[in-house]
Every structure is written in structure tokens, then in C-alpha cells.
Amino acid sequence: MRVATYAIALIVLATAATVAAQSVTVEGGNIFYRGGNGTRHQLTFSGLDSDVILSPDGKLVAFVRRTPDKLISTSMGDEEATEIWIINIDGKAARRLLTGTSAKEPQRSLANFRNLQFSPDGARIYFLSAGWVTSNAIYAVNRLTAKASFIAPGNSLEVIQRGTYAGHLIVEQHRYWLAGGSYDWLWLLDSNGREVGPIMDDNGRAGNFDEWRKMIIAPGAAKKQH
């Protein structure tokens, strides 16, 4: 898949949520947390964990746990089911939110979770899951109810954390021309997967990219246009 990676970088660098002086890392499949005072402690001990992220308020950690003994049949063959977990930064209250499951429809199969990202309010965790041959599936799981919802097809995912479009998604989608052939563009979607507009085409340009960039990066720089 062709992805306009530099376009994503321009926007994500300006919108990514950071929690001052806090960090989480993965070492040997285990999660480590470093606090603002420099203290560091280990949160998990499974040897199977990855894709770790901090919640916007800096109180929770979410991560993916591998499931080598549980495979799911997908359009791309058998994949690990995987799990999404959350845990407090003090290492307490670890809870599994979601486990991969099989289904007849590709977009309903849940497997091979990756690229976890919190919504700006911390209520949802977005992620990529196995989908079709030409596209992954984007889901969101509610942190409180553990209910997962299909959002959209997509081969990349960035959740905008600040600015006029906070909570919206930057997604690369594989689409088809009516006359034949296909294309891979970056799109701006709302939090539930509804299309707002194109950001960049697969040649690295789109007519309204500069306007989207201003609205996404600069809070209040322009009105939302739906």
C-alpha cells in the first residue's frame, strides 16, 4: 500500500497528545512506566505485550497482548487473535478489554490488533485489525463498556488529539475508480468513520490539503466544514 507518510508526519507531529515527563516502553514483551519524577517500574510480566500507549490524562496504559496459542482465520490466513488490555500506571487494576474473534464477514473478524490510539477524552481506544485482502479494518473499543465498534476500512490510522478537528481520524483508504483501477488516498474522517474530505492523494497532493492542515493544526483557525 502506498501511504503519504510525510503528510501524516506533518499533521501528527503537531497534534499528537503528550503527557509531560511520563513515558511507557516495551522491553522483552513487558511494559515499563517512567513517571515525571524519574521513577521507573514494570507494569506487566507476560513477555507478550506491545503497542503500548498512555491515556491523555496520563493515568492509564493500554497495550496489545499476543495470543500465540489462539489463531483466527482471516482473509489473509490465520492470524493471532491478540488482546487489548488496560492497566493503571501504578500497575494495578489490569483489565482485558477485548479478545480477537472470528466471523464470516471480513470486517467483523477481530485479529492482529495494532496501532492503538486513545480518543482525546480517553473514552475510546482506536486500533487496526485484520480485514480484507486489500485493507485492514479500523475499530474502536469503549474503555468503560468494552464494546467494540467497526469504524471504517483503512491501512493507516492517526487520531487527531488537538485543534479544530480533535477526535477526527486521518486514514489511508484503498478505493476503486468507477472506470476501473484503484487509488490510495489519505482522508479525514469523523470519530465514527464518516468522510469529511480528502487530505492527500497518492501522488502527494490534493487541492485542499493546505486548508485541512490549517484547520487540523491550528485550533480555531477555520470553521469546520461538513
Is 99 inside a domain boundary? Answer: yes
Is 70 inside a domain boundary? Answer: yes
pLDDT surpasses 50 at 13: no
Domain count, the chain: 1
Of the two residues 2 and 93, the one the predictor is more confident about is 93
Q: According to the model, what pLDDT value does residue 1 have?
A: 40
Is 224 inside a domain boundary? Answer: no
Supply the CATH number for residue 118's domain. 2.130.10.10
Residues 6+ apart with CB under 8 A from 224: 164, 165, 215
Contacts 24+ apart (CB under 8 A), 217-223: 217/11, 217/14, 217/15, 217/163, 218/163, 218/164, 219/162, 219/163, 219/164, 220/164, 221/163, 221/164, 222/164, 223/164
Q: According to the model, what pLDDT value does residue 219 have?
A: 42
Of the two residues 54 and 180, the one the predictor is more confident about is 54
